[in-house]
Amino acid sequence: MPASPGAVARLLRPHQWAKNALLFTALFTSHRWRDTAALTAALLAFAAFCAASSAVYVFNDARDVADDRLHPDKRRRPFASGALDVRLAWLLVPLLLAVAAAFALALPRAAQVALAAYAAVAFAYCLVLKRLLWLDVLALAALYTVRVVAGAAAIAVVASPWLLAFAGFLFTSLAALKRHADLVRQDGVDLAGRAYRAGDAAPLLALGAAAGMTAVLVLALYVNSPDVRVLYRTPGWIWLACPALLYWLARLWTLSARGRIDADPLLFALRDPASWGVAAAFALGVGLAL
């Protein structure tokens, strides 16, 4: 049976490319968005990560066919549903990795290393890490954070310790939220192919929420640090971002407890009007600080 273009498109998960917008973080935090060369480099890095992430998704779906068929949502994926032959993965994965490498050729060596690190951790996650208790959460957080690092490397700037600490704690919270949401929506059933049991929602909530609050604390400490005055004229306005972030995290965790988070938290936020409002408040605080 010939492969359907629509099924192939779903297999690549282009909607997940939105996560790669994190590659533009350093471009904006370093205030280099008007620099054409930096913008071009960031776009190349974005394209490379989109191809690499699609390769990982194809590989993951090929390996997880049996588990996906037991999941209420994942059973609709092209391989799990039978819409595509699993053998197609062994053609697409190397092809997509070659495309990613081609885009990365024009980037600095540090950005290439970051891309390779992303691919290594992502494939390790698919093979082993996602089945290990809490290591899967840390691996997911690392995959988000390395995008920020790669974006900085692409434009030849160093990601500040403040940014890395903030990203690390924030993405740990969101990764724990993803697992928590999966457990709640399974309604008392163990997660197939994962190390989590039905009763593990409570520790995920506790530690994930704590990581989120730590991210808010890091942001608050940054506002009061000498470093912030190098980039912002009136950094006090960034205080607006702290309650906005606190509200957003509290809301997401509450919705997860109610079984309302039906996707990756970042993707859920893209179609959530309240999250857009929080993003606007965050941007307003930073804009006024400039």
* pLDDT score of 2: 58
User: What's the pLDDT tens digit per position in 175-194?
Assistant: 999 999 988 888 767 777 78
Check if the beta carbon of residue 204 is closer than 8 Å to that of residue 176: yes
- Encode the chain (290 residues) as per-residue pLDDT tens digits: 456 788 889 999 999 999 999 999 999 988 898 899 999 999 999 999 999 999 999 999 888 887 777 776 778 788 888 778 888 999 999 999 999 999 999 999 999 999 999 999 999 999 999 999 999 999 999 999 999 999 999 999 999 999 999 999 999 999 999 999 988 888 767 777 788 888 899 999 999 999 999 999 999 999 988 888 888 888 889 898 999 999 999 999 999 999 999 878 988 998 999 999 999 998 888 888 87
Residue 225 CA from chain centroid, whole number: 27
User: What's the pLDDT tens digit per position in 104-124?
Assistant: 999 999 999 999 999 999 999
The model's pTM is: 0.92
Our CA dihedral for 177, 178, 182, 183, rounded to 10 degrees, sits at: -30
CA 84 – CA 7 distance, rounded (Å): 7
User: What's the pLDDT tens digit per position in 60-108?
Assistant: 988 888 777 777 677 878 888 877 888 899 999 999 999 999 999 999 9
* pLDDT score of 188: 67
Q: Which of 207, 189, 209 is nearest to 198 (CA)?
A: 189
